[in-house]
Structure 1
Amino acid sequence: MIPVLSGFIAILALAWGLNTAALDGGQASLPWLIREQGLYLSGLLSIGLMSLAMVLATRPVILERPLGGMDRIFRLHKWAGILAAVFAALHWLIEMSDDLIKALYGRSRRPAEMEFGGLLGTLRDAGEELGEFAIYLVLGMIVLSLWKRFPYKFWRHLHRAMPALYLLLAFHAAVLAPLDYWSQPVGMLLALLLASGTVAAVIALSGRIGRDRRVQGVVTAVSSPAPDVTEVVCRLGGEWRGHRAGQFAFVSFTGLDRFEGAHPFTIASADHGDRTLSFQIKALGDHTRQLAGRVAVGQPVTVEGPYGRFVLERRDRKARQVWVAGGIGVTPFLAWLDELRTRRENAMPVELHYSTRGATQDPFVARLRTLCADLPDVTLHVHDSSAGTAIKPDAFATAQADGARTEVWFCGPPRLGDQLKAALARLWRRRVRFHREAFEMR
């Protein structure tokens, strides 16, 4: 994510720099020139990152391979939006610095402002007013996005206004950009970004995101293996394209709270060719907590997907395999084990570590033991924090370090993943490749 965002920002800055290097500052003083170019650069970075965020919001499957999966696309979308808001705030602050520069350096040698009349003048005035209004709203939405306690069902509907706000800011950028931009590489880049972002915003506002990947189906089984886990089995229509073990899908149940919309859940079963999907849904909020009592057999369901590249077929067969799951993060590994049971030719030695807070009450422990009993190549280790055997990243890494090239696949709590990755990087260094599911859609 960091290399992609850094590279994107570098391209925008380079385009701005090429234009700035060719400018003749004339008689303008340095403080005023810095303010003027700072205004242009911050605005370009803000609208560029917003355009990137808008395109990524359309769930472009074509980018899954180069970017590492839809989970990482969503994370990139999130941070592109956050950075866009940061640069928008900086843009606003630079605009407000007018009076401060006047007080410190006076009005003399200020860059001459171009006068526009007629339609262009009217459009520029409107763009300035609408841009300021939209920036305030965007900043407010970013705050709500980062505030995890704000209910998802309300955040989701507020977030749907972002494409409309983007269109206001795109108009602001198009009419207020310097006229000489449009004959320079920076203008060509800006035009491409605005066009891409506008198309993406229209797709979002028309409700067409993911439409061609939605399939109708019906719930065939509902159970509660634990008080905080709901298992839902669905059979989909013939349009379903199949899935790979470890992928996820967006699921919405007809008749439930329409404010919730579709939620992403990992598919916890392999593809057996019968268009049947199993989901293990953890009670993490109001919607998922009420599913067991509200979803019934025969209920219509809409599934959009599949998405993601946390898949069994990507593993390196020449490297030692270590799989680490924490809590509900076990779901992709349930699908992987299910796949290995039906396709024995894919079997290879695996160390599977499962972290739980209470093994005696955890339904996934028995499920894992049953699956692994048929897979002699898979060695299961259950780490129970209530029994004092929780995963300790340093000890875990030390125990596995024997000089062999190792591939670690992790899905679980972010904090545990960070600790494990840091410990492995410190002890194993280049002998390990660490893969993780970045399953956070907000």
Structure 2
Amino acid sequence: MTATPATTAAEQLSATTLLRFATAGSVDDGKSTLVGRLLHDSKSVLTDQLEAVEHASRSRGQEAPDLALLTDGLRAEREQGITIDVAYRYFATAQRRFILADTPGHVQYTRNMVTGASTAELTVILVDARNGVVEQTRRHAAIAALLRVPHVVLAVNKMDLVDYAEDVFARIAGEFTAYATDLGVPEVTAIPISALNGDNVVEVSAHMDWYGGPTVLEHLETVPASHDLTGCHARFPVQYVIRPQSADHPDYRGYAGQIAAGTFRVGEEVTVLPSGRTTKIAGIDLLGTPVDVAWTPQSVTLLLEDDIDISRGDLIAPASDAPAVTQNIKATVCHVADAPLTVGHRVLIKHATRTVKALVKEIPSRLTLDDLSQHPDPQQLVANDIGEVVLRTAEPLPVDDYADSRRTGSFLLIDPADGTTLSAGMAGNAFAAHAAPAADAAADDDGWDF
């Protein structure tokens, strides 16, 4: 439809699609500079922000503005010249809106990439053209594959320092693409850039006429966005039970929360998990207004036909498409805590809105990034390790396979002593429950043996 003169810029912007993407790469590969260049050249930087960067750059003895300072906002980041925290930036072009997560490159902060990429539809992995694919590059590719990020961009940066040589780019792109393909990454797009000079970031480079592909921004604007979860398995984690003490609504009982995925309709038959009780949706309230249908990521209140015992942490799903309920979970985790995760570790598992006790029963393997081999029976995972775990939960959980649902197939392992996040987990095949060994049941009676 042709826009009329009355159509506002805000209305046009709201009609554009949203892309969530993250940047990753090794230390000094130029991630923050790329992000700064992207924001600067797409004219997404306010005048006062640019003036602040110019002032900070001059105070450090730099003649040109250091665009990395647009995202490196912590004092420690500026002093050390490295990214430590995940920096989020929001910007837009005429074609698309963007939420960008600039993640750290130092191996010590690899865990932060899990945070930045967990909701991303695309990851930009930077490589220094002088160094090629290094261990941290492989680690970031592995995390992108584990998190099921559908699109990966390999940005071969600092091409100006290798005389914009095509053979250097081709060698790095070939090596990375082969590695990512072995990991199961569905799509890799390689782009040669110089973030410092702006080559192929927003504007086409005049130094690499041998490259005929898109610039970074062109690719970001045109890649299919895959964040639409309305057609996925419908899942509704209950956050709060609403029982207003009102004479107008004496029998009102609603279940409030955010739809994690899919669509719900009035009259639809649903199952409440883990109890397995079945009922129908009698009504849906959206911002206090009754509606016939609601979809992710709307926050709504569901009203059910039957009076069922439901509390925070329960999951409502279509009766014909409910996830399996299990106390035994096999999963892949990225360990993020300084303290190791060991066999026999007592943890809390936070899945959607439910948190229960769990035991680490096994650690079958740890991923070796050099050749993608599995190191069997490592007994523990240390910070930044990626490995398989088998968990036994105190209560049954309705867990999806992560390949089917990134929202209800993911979880956190938490230290029950101090609330520290230990690992970020992606559920694999939840295998059938089996009886715990007699020795487990006979252990100390402190509520942790189940």
Whether TM exceeds 0.5 here: the answer is no
**TM-score, normalised on structure 2?**
0.25
* Higher relative contact order (CA closer than 8 Å, sequence separation 6+): 1
Structure with greater helix percent = 1
**TM-score, normalised on structure 1?**
0.25
Task: Mark the structure with the bigger radius of gyration.
Answer: 1
Structure with greater strand percent = 2
